[in-house]
Structure 1
């Protein structure tokens, strides 16, 4: 079994990448490394000498990041001794993704799709920043909330947990997937929740009125939308004068059950963030011109949160 000792990370990346290149999906690559628990005070890169041989220290976080970068899943490490552990990287099936789904477009995100298995609320790097965004807009004070791309309602579930007065708030969720909306209606059968099946390109047909909070996570970047035009219209026509807005921009892909960091842009075979940054900065500048305080947070999802600072 391969044991990494004093190889630097460049050498390790090249070794594992080349080793896995021709392996089948779900192949397990096992190797031994210095036990990260050998010290609580060591930084990655520090050197330890064991039996006259030098080993480079790296944390569990570093190894987990490497697994994700190489499109692998890290299995539970096995302790060999106080000095060494065995790590196992499982090669992911990169074709196993709702992004690659051949399902009919209207049901690509439906109850029988791969997407329906995804629960972002149980991914710490999503839910932590979404919770903070809701707290920053003072969610308990909102009376009318609109969510574009609600799917089966998971984002409303978080609000129910965080808001003491959610029963005083009217929630409207819109999605073009009929089966997802049907599921949302079952999950949220209280009278202050409404769900509509519609393509958000046709939002003007719905006579919705205005809202003091608009949420949209991973929807406005749809290829069927003129993003900038739609966003400006959304703010002008559907957001109350002193309302708030939360936008979530995906900076990840879902591959073989795993949330993998890094947005995938068209025409690139690797993570490329230009489109994401361009959209985020456009929204930030536009909202600042409209007298909103804007914060940008997050990691696997980038959250833009805007609250009004208008006077009078």
Structure 2
């Protein structure tokens, strides 16, 4: 495995050298100044052992070059050594669908700390009345419903004061969701069939990574939800993916077909259009997140919840 040692080199020299080494052998070892010795310095500032770069720079470099960052070790005064290993060319976890036996069923989105924090914040921002009703669209196996217990620990499932209905098209995923949340209700239904007169109205509607799905017209779905399934004081939490999974790792940036690098054009357009749509309907709107951009909407007259942090 090649070893590249850096001390005073700029990132503009490091990046192509690392890229070439990864392209040649798929793995490379780097030696660089210890980031711990430069805490408080900006990236590229001169520290005691060379140009300082925090670990966030190296993790971003690894992601940008399509590689895992391997466990570092100290190798001398002020130096660290760590490896980069190219992502294996594995298919995306949703390539085989979203069933209970698919690769997607292995994914726990709440293991993303930014999503966990911002989702709980979004839920608390909206709040829920006593005996509140929650509609979760594209619920799959129900993992994201765990955020409700974190946001509302005093009255979340299995407390009868919170009613949950999850909707998805995959029967096997819904069976697993029922096992995970036996007190909730789950319905096999395509969201393109909404509004549905039998569902009633809800105080909170959650739809993560759904509005950009094939066959779903986000504006039409949003119109139906607001008119027929949301209470007058209810709110929405809508998620737009800004990442993809590569060899088990969340890699930043929305991807478009035939684009090698992330392109956020479609994401920005959809988030902006959704925000504008909701504001015209009388909602105050908040946009947060990183790998999953959350659009949180609650009525203008509604008081924003307090104690938002997890």
Q: Paired residue for 2:119?
A: 130
1:247 touches 1:305 (CA, 8 Å); kept in 2?
A: yes
For residue 73 of structure 1, give the secondary structure of its aligned residue in structure 2.
Answer: strand
For residue 236 of structure 2, give the secondary structure of its aligned residue in structure 1.
Answer: strand
Residue 274 of structure 1: how far off its partner (Å): 1.0
Structure-2 separation of matches of 1:218 and 1:48: 42
Q: Deviations over 1:11-60 (max 9, x none)?
A: 2111111222244xxx331110011112333221112465xxxx311011
Structure-2 separation of matches of 1:71 and 1:139: 41
1:139 touches 1:159 (CA, 8 Å); kept in 2?
A: no
The reply to whether residue 71 of structure 1 matches residue 62 of structure 2 is no
Q: Point out where structure 1 has 5 or more consecutive residues left out of the alignment.
A: none
For residue 109 of structure 1, give the secondary structure of its aligned residue in structure 2.
Answer: coil
Residues 206/197 of structure 1: CA separation in 2 closer, same or farther (3 Å cut): farther
Aligned residues: 296
Residue 142 of structure 1: how far off its partner (Å): 6.4
2:35 touches 2:55 (CA, 8 Å); kept in 1?
A: yes
Residue 299 of structure 1: how far off its partner (Å): 0.7
The reply to whether residue 288 of structure 1 matches residue 279 of structure 2 is yes
Structure-1 separation of matches of 2:267 and 2:58: 27
Which of 159, 162, 171 is equivalent to 1:169? 162
1:1-312 mapped onto 2 (5 Å cutoff)? 1-23=3-25, 27-48=26-47, 55-99=50-94, 101=95, 103=96, 108-139=97-128, 143-163=132-152, 164-166=154-156, 167=159, 168-190=161-183, 193-205=184-196, 207-310=198-301
Q: Point out where structure 2 has 5 or more consecutive residues left out of the alignment.
A: 303-310
2:194 touches 2:221 (CA, 8 Å); kept in 1?
A: no
Residue 206 of structure 1: how far off its partner (Å): 6.2
Residue 177 of structure 1: how far off its partner (Å): 1.1
Q: TM-score, normalised by structure 1?
A: 0.90
1:2 touches 1:32 (CA, 8 Å); kept in 2?
A: yes
Q: Deviations over 1:198-236 (max 9, x none)?
A: 221123456211111100000111011122222222222
For residue 88 of structure 1, give the secondary structure of its aligned residue in structure 2.
Answer: strand
Residue 269 of structure 1: how far off its partner (Å): 2.0
Q: TM-score, normalised by structure 2?
A: 0.90
2:70 touches 2:83 (CA, 8 Å); kept in 1?
A: yes
